[in-house]
Amino acid sequence: MRWVDIHRLDFPPEWHERANKALFELRQEIEQAELAAQSSGGNVKAARKKAITEGLKKKARQDIWRDLSSYLARLRKGKCWYSESKNSGSDMDVDHFRPKNAVKEEPNHEGYWWLAFNWENYRYSCQWCNQRRVDVINETDGGKWDYFPVALGSFRARQEGDNCDDEEVNLLDPINPHDCKLLTFRPDGQPIPTKPSGTREFERAKTSIWLYHLDRKEFVDDRRIVAGRVQRLVQYMETLHPQIVNPKMRKLYNDQVMELLRLIDRDSEYSAAAVAYAKAEIYKMERGHQVKRQWLEDILINP
């Protein structure tokens, strides 16, 4: 996961006007459903829920977030913001980070319907991270779906006007630059928390690995390939580095540096894993002692 600056997002013409109109109309529909239920002695809560669900199903309204899909994709060159996979051949989703029509952990929650047309609530996601999937063969499951966990006993926004910033969210968010530091990767491609067990940061990362299905076999296999590429590059660069006084060797060395920089570039697939693997190569064991590859650290500090 790499930080995404969502405030760099561009918009189609008149998008904001359409979004504001849709929210205004949805509010009216909910209010009218409430009044009708009250006057007839019906179930007000059920009437509200029906109005929300039906209102969000309208194609013209779903087109509002779908029309932003390509614009969201550009912020990370088509990568899923959760897995960093481009997942070629698979459809991509506009995920509502706070789910718009239900909250799995709380069956009585109406969903964060008032954020359905709020662009700051959108995340560009592959379907493996966003939709609920079970991989029976490899014994993994995940997919964010309508899950939105918060810390046990903490505040949860339940209605328009509640401050969502007061929520202690138990999911890592790619638009939060601090959250992206809470995940790292083993050489075998498996995602792991960076913080120790027992800390809230560990639990948030662990929950995110599960709900975003970051341990899906295909993601793990791809990261393992990246780990091998990084290791081979570093080993080759190490043989070339002492010879860079020679112009031909310097050219060869610089070519490998550029290849490493491409792997760790923010817009490359699995670049967070590539960074982790490259940093792990800074120190090596030599004759029973830990030796620092200063030249590699210099590359990673000033890419």
Please state the domain extents for the chain.
6-215, 218-301
- Give the model confidence (pLDDT) of 172-223 as tens digits: 999 999 999 999 999 999 999 999 999 999 999 999 999 999 999 999 999 9
Question: In this structure, are residues 85 and 92 in contact, taking their beta carbons and an 8 Å threshold?
Answer: no
Residue 141's pLDDT is: 60
Q: How many CB atoms lie within 10 A of CB 35?
A: 12
Please give the average pLDDT of every successive group of 10 residues along the chain, which has 303 residues: 97 97 98 95 95 97 96 95 81 92 95 98 93 64 85 95 97 97 97 97 96 93 97 96 95 97 96 97 89 94 77
Structure tokens at 160: 């328009």
DSSP for the chain reads: -----GGG----TTHHHHHHHHHHHHHHHHHHHHHHHHHHT--HHHHHHHHHHHHHH-HHHHHHHHTTHHHHHHTTTT--TTT----TTS-EEEEESS-SS--TT-TT----GGGTT-GGGEEEEEHHHHS-EEETTTTEEE--TT---B-TT-----STTS-GGG--BSS--TTSTTGGGGEEE-TTS-EEESSPTTSHHHHHHHHHHHHTTTT-HHHHHHHHHHHHHHHHHHHHHHHHGGGTTSHHHHHHHHHHHHHHHHHHSTTSTTHHHHHHHHHHTSEEEETTEEEE-HHHHHHHH--
pLDDT in the model for residue 69: 95
Cβ–Cβ under 8 Å, residues 30 and 50: no
For 279, other C-beta atoms within 10 Å of its C-beta total: 15
Query: Would you state the pLDDT for residue 70?
Result: 95
pLDDT of residue 142: 62
- What is the 3 state secondary structure string of 172-220? CCCCCCCHHHHEEECCCCCEEECCCCCCHHHHHHHHHHHHCCCCCHHHH
Predicted confidence (pLDDT) per residue in 216-235, tens digit: 999 999 999 999 999 999 99
The token pair that represents 291 in the structure block: 């030796």
> What is the Cα–Cα distance from 96 to 113, expressed in whole angstroms?
10
Beta bridge partners of 292: 283
C-alpha closest to that of 105 among 59, 62, 140, 154? 154
The H or E element containing residue 95 is strand 92-96
Answer for the pair 35, 86: CB distance below 8 angstroms, yes or no. no
Q: What is the per-residue pLDDT for 138? A: 60
What is the pTM assigned to this prediction? 0.92
